[in-house]
């Protein structure tokens, strides 16, 4: 479970989270949208422990995790910029995802359509391929908390559908609490439990968009 309790965060004098409270239960996928610069990625980074809130608290699995280091929070995080280890092959990047990830690396690269690139390094693949590899790494961890930062951005329509189906399948398997930042909430149709918009430091919730 993910909980934000009255979190405040300002960047360069601009308040991007103004007393934000949020709860994502196990088995739930909340999709968050908002304008560029609204603070969506910062919100994920606060949950992951990569940024610290100036007020409020972050609770994970029913425990206060506000003071914990990122590695102590044991969650899966797919970064918007991929953030693959440049000196590692794609296989090693996915295998680095956490406990048990190494045993799943081959099958997860195959599901991402990247098995033929397993020995390549990040500098030798395209941006879209790097994004899929980053998603494979996050999913291979099989954590019970999953943060996804625009995982389907810049992918072709067919690949977006395939990757969304994969995320849905993994969430059903792990019963994870998932917070997914999306440019367009329709990308997560059929996966999202709820959607929300981050604007002027506040979250506004609505029902999820369902696929036809």
Q: What is the CATH number of the domain that holds 196?
A: 3.40.50.300
Domain stops at, among 92, 112, 141:
141
Does residue 69 sit within a domain?
no
pLDDT tens, 63-94? 999 999 999 999 999 998 888 999 999 999 99
Q: What is the mean pLDDT of residues 87-116?
A: 92
The pLDDT score that the predictor gives to residue 154 is 84
Q: What is the mean pLDDT of residues 80-109?
A: 91
Domain stops at, among 141, 165, 187:
141
Does residue 50 sit within a domain?
yes
Total domain count for the chain? 2
Does residue 78 sit within a domain?
no
Range of the domain at 98: 84-141
Q: Given a cut of 80, is residue 97 above it in pLDDT?
A: no
Same domain, 118 and 168: no
Q: What is the mean pLDDT of residues 52-56?
A: 96
pLDDT tens, 117-145? 999 999 999 999 999 999 999 999 899 99
pLDDT tens, 8-23? 999 988 899 999 999 9
Tell me the percentage of the chain whose pLDDT exceeds 90.
Answer: 82
Does residue 14 sit within a domain?
yes
pLDDT tens, 171-195? 999 999 999 999 888 888 889 999 9
Residue located via tokens 């494979």: 136
Same domain, 45 and 149: yes
The pLDDT score that the predictor gives to residue 132 is 95
Q: Which segment of 35-44, 69-78, 143-152, 203-212 scores lowest on mean pLDDT?
A: 203-212
Tell me if the pTM is above 0.85.
Answer: yes
């Amino acid at each position: 479970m993910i909980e934000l309790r009255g979190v405040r965060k300002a960047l360069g004098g601009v308040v991007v989270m103004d007393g934000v409270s949020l709860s994502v239960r196990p088995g739930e996928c909340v999709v968050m949208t908002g304008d560029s610069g609204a603070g969506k990625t910062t919100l994920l980074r606060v949950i992951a422990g990569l940024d610290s809130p100036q007020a409020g608290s972050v609770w994970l699995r029913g425990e206060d995790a506000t003071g914990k280091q990122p590695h102590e929070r044991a969650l899966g995080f797919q970064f918007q910029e991929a953030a693959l280890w440049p000196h590692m092959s794609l296989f090693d990047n996915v295998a680095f995802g956490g406990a048990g990830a190494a045993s799943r690396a081959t099958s997860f690269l195959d599901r991402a359509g990247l098995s033929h690139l397993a020995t390549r390094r990040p500098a030798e693949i395209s941006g879209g391929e790097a994004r899929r590899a980053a998603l494979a790494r996050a999913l291979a961890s099989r954590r019970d908390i999953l943060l996804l930062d625009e995982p389907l951005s810049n992918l072709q329509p067919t690949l977006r559908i395939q990757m969304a189906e994969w995320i849905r399948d993994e969430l059903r398997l792990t019963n994870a609490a998932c917070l997914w930042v999306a440019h367009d909430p329709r990308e997560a149709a059929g996966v999202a439990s709820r959607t929300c918009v981050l604007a002027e430091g506040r979250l506004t919730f609505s029902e999820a968009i369902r696929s036809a």
